[in-house]
Amino acid sequence: MTALIAIRELAKSFGPVPALADVSLDIRENEFFALLGPSGCGKTTLLRILAGFEMPDRGSVTLDGKDLVAIPANRRPVNMMFQSYALFPHMTVAGNVSYGLEMEGVKGPELARRVRDALAMVQLEPVAGRKPHLLSGGQRQRVALARALVKRPRLLLLDEPLAALDKKLREQMRIELKRIQHDTGITFLVVTHDQEEALVMADRIALMDRGAVAQLGSPRELYDRPATRFVAGFIGMSNVLEGRATAGGVAVAGLGALPATGEGIAPGAPVSLTIRPERVRLVAGGGGQVAGKITGIAYLGQDLLLQIGLPGRADPLVARLASGHPLADGLREGMAVSCDWAAADARMLTE
Amino acid sequence: MTDHPVARLQSRGTRRWLKGHAALVYLFLYGPIAMLAVLSFNDSGLPTSWGGFSFRWYGELLRNPAILHSVANSLVVAFFVTLIATAGGTLLALGLEQGRPSTALDSFVMVPMIIPDIVLAIALLSFYTTLQFTLGLYSIVLSQSVFVMAFAAAVVRTRLRNFDRSILEASVDLGADGWTTFWRVTLPAILPGVIAAALLSFTLSIDDFVIAYFSAGAGRSSTTFPMQIYAMIRFGVTPTINAIATILVLVSVTLMLTAQRLAREAQP
């Protein structure tokens, strides 16, 4: 796959605060790419630079090898779906969708056909003649999507596309967006603060923190092999134990040597051990590497979340196990339990 | 309404007192206007005796060349003031809402609304004299535009305040330039505000006496309608004036209701 968008050492500050600090990344042709991060991490600034609403202070952005920054916003082959949807309130649904094509000089039967096709793609033909204020939130969202897609951009930017929808609709639309991206073959770049949304939809995720890319990779890579403590904490839930690297793991004060893996870390270096709750195994009858007392049990339907208090530590170890686990029925608060994990499931992180 | 928390806090006596007060206010406000309208149809022309229903004074009005001339003047002035003040006020509102919020700029725009008409009138008159500007209808248009524009800008700005700015970015994103965005997105989106501003401008212009009087110059040719009424009233209230006033009330109420209806229909 070739790079559609190449971003190199892009920097932008608002006053003394750097919003983007030398960001470099490639977005490939035909991929569903997510910019993920907490608010203020610079993801929206990057999106607005790609749309042409902000100018970078330094760095370059190319699209198909051509300088994108020099092209004014209204002539870029890039369209955006706004977080507020930004529908034109005085135009009908069809009017909103045809606006962008009219700007390109598309007329007559071709205009009508393309508007119809775009509305059909998002199942909105029955409401083509309505004004936006008569539509539901979900319908408005789909008008905004059709309006941006009808121009067949090289890159579609989606700013928190699902944030304004209720939970059930949001889950449906994740699948729907994925389908539309697949059917149209247009490269999607979605900005979101919702890690679950990014994990479900994206082919690749750039997780951003304070204006820089903390980690770039597939959802699996980010989840299974977080590069920093920030990544481990932002994507999903992680237990973190501080200690010093040893030959086969981490020596944690009060708990002894615990198994973990990490590449190129010198023994004795200060490290954090991170372990996902679902990788923590309960060991029947004691004999695990870590022993503690259950301080809380949360029933989540499919799964149980256990808080295990460890001697001399304020934060409990969180373990997630299936409700059907053989030990699940006997668990009570205050019970002594023992657990362990495979060395491959625990990561040693230096940052 | 009876279980409104504030209403319950008031005693029965207080409520009765407030109702009585409201009735008096309405009586004082609408009583004379109603009387005026009734008298305009009084054939006898005397406020003391009813001589039967007639359109006589309205006919008289149409045969009075001085009144007709002044009405024509007022309409011409109001037309141009509406045009200038609405266009200028809209641009002013757009500029103020787009720029960095500035209390100083905001207050300067409000000044023509706040300072007494008479002060503005004298200031403009001495300004024209300094420039050795010949006075006439166009100087009335100019003077009225100054203060009416401030009102028009204020009306458009209330519309701009709950205006989603991202639709302008959306228009540019979809390929439109600034000019197309203004005509196809910005203006239609704020149009109800602009129309309301135009109706208000027209009413303010027709209604204005002080500023027009000082800007009109000496000649009778640039007498506007309120100035004509003022000239006539010096010889007592004639039934013709009642007829004029009734027409004025009718026109301004119609304009106001139209403006309100437009504003309501435009609300999503």
User: Cα separations (Å) of B145 from A266, A293, B110?
Assistant: 80, 81, 14
Of B173, B180, B189, nearest to A73 by CB-CB distance is B173
Spell out the domain ranges in chain B: 63-266
Whether B1 shows a pLDDT value over 60: the answer reads: no
Q: Would the CB atoms of B169 and A84 count as touching at under 8 Å?
A: no
**Cα dihedral sign, B228-B61-B83-B105:** positive
Give the gap in angstroms from C-alpha A345 to the nearest C-alpha of chain B: 46
Q: What is the mean pLDDT of residues B73-88?
A: 94
DSSP states of B51-98 as a string?
Answer: --B--HHHHHHHT-HHHHHHHHHHHHHHHHHHHHHHHHHHHHHHHHHH
Tell which CATH classification among 3.30.390.50, 2.40.40.20, 1.10.490.10, 1.10.3720.10 matches the domain B63-266: 1.10.3720.10
Give the gap in angstroms from C-alpha A34 to the nearest C-alpha of chain B: 20
Q: Would the CB atoms of B173 and A104 count as touching at under 8 Å?
A: no
CATH homologous superfamily of A237-349 equals Nucleic acid-binding proteins (2.40.50.140)
In which order are the strands placed within the sheet that holds A317-322?
A: A281-283, A336-340, A290-299, A303-309, A317-322
Q: Is A119 left (phi over 0), alpha (psi -120 to 50) or beta?
A: alpha
What is chain B's Cα-based Rg? 23
Residue A125 DSSP code: G
Of A86, A89, A103, nearest to B175 by CB-CB distance is A103
- Chain A positions touching B170 (Cβ under 8 A) are 80, 82, 86-88, 147
Please identify which residue in the block is written with the tokens 């006075």. B135
Pick from A61, A52, A48, A76: nearest CA to A153 = A76
Q: Tell me, what's the pLDDT at B268?
A: 45
Give the separation between CA B188 and CA B184, rounded to whole angstroms: 6
In degrees, rounded to 5, the angle at the alpha carbon of residue B165 between the alpha carbons of residues B161 and B167 is: 130
Q: Is A2 on the interface with B (CB under 8 A)?
A: no
Q: Is B188 on the interface with A (CB under 8 A)?
A: yes
Whether B233 shows a pLDDT value over 90: the answer reads: no
Instruction: Give residue-wise pLDDT tens across range A164-181.
Output: 888 888 888 999 999 999
Residues paired with residue A79 on neighbouring β-strands, in sequence order: A156
Instruction: Give residue-wise pLDDT tens across range A55-98.
Output: 999 999 999 989 999 999 999 999 999 999 999 999 999 999 99
Q: What is the mean pLDDT of residues B104-119?
A: 82
Torsion of CA A299, A300, A302, A305, to 10 degrees: -60
Cβ atoms < 10 Å from Cβ of A121: 18
A273, A258 Cβ separation under 8 angstroms: yes
Say how many CA atoms lie within 13 Å of B232 toward its Cβ. 20
B67, B228 Cβ separation under 8 angstroms: yes
Q: Would the CB atoms of B166 and A89 count as touching at under 8 Å?
A: no
Spell out the domain ranges in chain A: 3-224, 237-349
Whether B4 shows a pLDDT value over 90: the answer reads: no
- Chain B positions touching A115 (Cβ under 8 A) are none
- The kind and range of the H/E element at A176 are helix A167-184
Give the gap in angstroms from C-alpha B176 to the nearest C-alpha of chain A: 6
Instruction: Please tell me whether residue A55 adopts helix, strand or coil conformation.
Output: coil
Q: Is B183 on the interface with A (CB under 8 A)?
A: no
Instruction: Please tell me whether residue B212 adopts helix, strand or coil conformation.
Output: helix
Q: For residue A134, what is the nearest residue in chain B, using CA coordinates?
A: B268
- Chain A positions touching B268 (Cβ under 8 A) are 89, 131-133
SS (H, E, C) B88-139: HHHHHHHHHHHCCCCHHHHHHHHHHHHCCHHHHHHHHHHHHHHHCCCCCHHH
Of A80, A84, A88, nearest to B185 by CB-CB distance is A88
Q: Tell me, what's the pLDDT at B8?
A: 62
Choose the weakest-confidence range: A45-49, B79-83, B210-214, B244-248: B244-248
Instruction: Give residue-wise pLDDT tens across range A92-149.
Output: 999 999 999 999 999 999 999 999 999 999 999 999 999 999 999 999 999 999 999 9
- Chain B positions touching A89 (Cβ under 8 A) are 167, 189, 268
Predicted TM-score of the model (pTM): 0.79
Q: Would the CB atoms of B174 and A84 count as touching at under 8 Å?
A: no
Give the separation between CA A246 and CA A269, rounded to whole angstroms: 8
Whether A297 shows a pLDDT value over 70: the answer reads: yes
Whether B229 shows a pLDDT value over 70: the answer reads: yes
Q: Would the CB atoms of A74 and B169 count as touching at under 8 Å?
A: no
B121, B245 Cβ separation under 8 angstroms: no
To the question of domain A3-224 being in CATH 3.40.50.720, the answer is no
- Chain A positions touching B175 (Cβ under 8 A) are 74-75, 100, 103-104, 151
